[in-house]
């Protein structure tokens, strides 16, 4: 004798088991491959002071840049173009220091650097003795790089310092620049050695020398 009611019960039970297995597998897969946190900068861990009559120093304590060990460029659009930017490496704990022409009333722009792209991250300024985020300003070509630091503000295929003189070797570039990706860009070697980040900051062939 057939028992259709029991067969349907067994079928529903099997479907529930399969659903539970799929959900369990999906959750375990998500837990096994977490999405990494995107790079970020914490202005509450930064300070901006007048280093000299003509220079300012933007510093960050541990955790100011996450993850640490990143290359950044700090630009002051109010300074002469030839010396408006400085490229730095952050320490492994995310601390950094950058000295460049300017005054504490200026707005500074920070970009993340890589071999293939420069990415605008934040503009900062001093308000009441505290570093705060500032508007980046207009971006006519909507490429993510504000016009004041975009050397091709109407060409969305180029942004930041990644446009300019084409080159084959460093000798094709102006002083203080290197040939990277076929274009002249700010040299990453014009910085003092940063202790503890395992990087040859001053490009003398030694990591953490003099520390």
CA distance 111 to 118: 6
Burial class (CB in 10 A: 0-12, 13-18, 19+), 207: middle
For 65, the token pair is 């840049």
In whole numbers, what is the pLDDT of the chain averaged over residues?
79
Tokens for 43, please give them.
């202005």
What tokens were used for 94? 């995310």
Rounded distance, CA 200 to CA 211, Å?
12
Q: What is the CA radius of gyration of the chain?
A: 25
**What tokens were used for 134?**
């500032």
pLDDT digits (tens, 9 = 90+) for 141-178: 998 999 999 888 888 877 776 666 777 887 887 776 77
Query: Is residue 146 a contact partner of residue 137, using CB atoms and an 8 Å limit?
Result: yes
Q: Is residue 101 scored above 90 in pLDDT?
A: yes
> Which token pair is 142?
């909507």
CA distances from 21 to 18, 27, 30, 56, 200 (A): 5, 10, 14, 60, 51
Residues 6 or more apart whose CB falls under 8 angstroms from that of 140 comprise 147, 153, 154
Q: Do the Cβ atoms of 99 and 85 come closer than 8 Å? A: no
- Compute the average pLDDT of residues 91-120: 90
* Pair 95, 80: CB distance under 8 Å: no
What ranges make up the beta strands (E) of 8-54? 40-41, 46-50
Residue 36 pLDDT:
47
Answer whether 200's CB lies under 8 Å from 189's CB.
no
| CA–CA gap between residue 96 and residue 38 (Å, rounded) | 19
Predicted local confidence at residue 13, as pLDDT: 65
Q: Alpha-carbon distance 45 to 124, whole Å?
A: 12
Stretch 137-141: mean pLDDT:
93
Confidence label for 41 from pLDDT (cuts 50, 70 and 90): very high
Residue 139 CB coordination number (10 Å): 17
Mean pLDDT throughout 67-81? 89
């Amino acid at each position: 004798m057939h028992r259709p009611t029991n067969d349907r019960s067994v079928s529903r039970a099997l479907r529930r088991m399969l659903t539970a297995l799929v959900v369990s597998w999906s959750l375990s897969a998500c837990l096994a491959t977490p999405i990494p946190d995107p790079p970020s900068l914490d202005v509450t861990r930064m300070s901006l002071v007048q280093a000299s009559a003509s220079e300012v120093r933007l510093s960050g304590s541990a955790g100011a840049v996450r993850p640490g060990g990143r290359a950044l460029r700090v630009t002051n659009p109010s300074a002469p173009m030839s010396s408006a930017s400085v490229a730095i490496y952050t320490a492994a704990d995310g601390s950094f220091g950058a000295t460049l022409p300017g005054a504490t009333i200026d707005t500074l722009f920070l970009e993340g650097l890589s071999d293939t792209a420069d990415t605008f991250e934040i503009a900062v300024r001093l308000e009441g003795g505290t570093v705060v985020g500032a508007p980046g300003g207009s971006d006519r070509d909507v490429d993510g790089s504000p016009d004041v630091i975009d050397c091709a503000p109407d060409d969305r295929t180029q942004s930041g310092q990644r446009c300019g003189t084409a080159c084959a070797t460093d000798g094709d570039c102006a002083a203080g620049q290197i040939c990277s990706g076929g274009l002249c860009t700010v040299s990453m070697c014009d910085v003092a050695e940063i202790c503890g980040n395992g990087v040859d900051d001053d490009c003398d062939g030694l990591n953490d020398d003099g520390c």
